[in-house]
Structure 1
Amino acid sequence: MKIYFPQWQGSGTGKTIENGAKTILDYLDDPKFIHVPLSEISAGKDGTKKHDIHNYDAITEQLTRLKKSIEESQPNTIKTIGGDCGLEIVPVSYLNKKYPNLGVIWFDAHADINKPCDSPSCNFHGMPLRTLLGEGSEHMNPLLFTFIEASQIHYVGVRDIDDTEQTRINDGEIYAPKKTNIADLVNTLQSKKITNLYLHFDFDCLEPKDYNKTYYQVPNGVTISEAEACIKALQENFSIVGSSVLESITTDISELKPITKIINMLIKQ
Structure 2
Amino acid sequence: MTTSPKTLRLLMPQWQGGNNPTYRLGARLLAWLAPEGDAEFAEVPVAQPDGSKLPVEEGIVAKTAILGQNRTALEIIRKADPDRIVTFGGDCSVSLAPFSYLATKYAGDVAVLWIDSHVDLTSSQFYENAHGYPMRNLLGQGDAEFAAFTETPIPGNRLVYVGVGKDRMSEGSLRDIDAMGARVFDPSELTGNFAEVIDWLKACGASKLLVHFDLDVLDPEHFRAQLFNNPDGLADHFVGMATGKLTFANVIDLLGRSAEVIDIVALSITEHLPWDAENLRQALARLPILSR
Q: TM-score, normalised by structure 2?
A: 0.78
| Aligned partner letter, 1:136 | G
Question: 2:190 corresponds to which residue?
Answer: 180
1:213 aligns with 2:220: no
Q: Say yes or no: does 1:102 pair with 2:110.
A: yes
Aligned length: 249
**Aligned to 1:57, which of 31, 50, 64?**
64
Q: Contact 2:87–2:94 at 8 Å: present in 1 too?
A: no
Per the alignment, residue 207 of structure 2 pairs with 195
Note if contact 1:9-1:44 (Cα within 8 Å) is conserved in structure 2: no
Aligned partners of 1:174 and 1:142: how far apart in 2? 21
Matched residues in 2 for 1:195 and 1:22: separation?
A: 31
1:245: how far off? 1.1
Distance 1:36 1:144, change over 3 A: same
Q: 1:44 to 1:74 in 2, by over 3 A?
A: farther
Name the SS for the 1:117 alignment partner.
coil
* Counterpart contact for 1:103–1:196, Cα < 8 Å: yes
| Cα distance change on mapping 1:176 and 1:29 into 2, 3 Å | closer
Please list the CA deviations of residues 133-154 of structure 1 after superposition, one character each: whole Å capped at 9, or x if unmatched.
Answer: 1211112233334211111111
Give the 3-state SS of the residue equivalent to 2:185 in structure 1. Answer: coil
Larger Rg: 2
1:137 maps onto 2:143 in alignment: yes
Distance 1:43 1:103 in 2: 38
Q: Which residue of 1 aligns with 2:255?
A: 231
Q: 1:116-135 alignment to 2 at 5 Å?
A: 116-119=124-127, 122-135=128-141
Which residue pairs with 2:159 in the alignment? 153
Counterpart residue type for residue 204 of structure 2: K
| Residue of 7, 17, 42 corresponding to 1:34 | 42
Report how far residue 20 of structure 1 moved: 1.1
Q: Secondary structure at the match of 2:202?
A: helix
Name the structure 2 match of 1:257: none
Question: Could you say what secondary structure the match of 1:213 adopts?
Answer: coil
* CA apart distance, 1:235: 1.2
RMSD: 2.2
The aligned amino acid for 1:113 is L
Alignment of 1:67-106 (within 5 A): 67-99=74-106, 100-106=108-114
The amino acid of 2:84's aligned partner reads T
Aligned pair 1:114/2:122, yes or no?
yes
Would you say the 8 A contact 2:11–2:44 is kept in 1?
yes
Give the equivalent residue in structure 1 for 2:3.
none
Q: Is residue 48 from structure 1 mapped to residue 65 from structure 2 by the alignment?
A: no
Mapped contact 2:228–2:243 kept (Cα < 8 A): no
Q: TM-score scaled by structure 1?
A: 0.85
Cα separation, 2, equivalents of 1:103 and 1:203: 20
Any unmatched runs of 5+ in structure 2?
1-7, 230-241, 278-292
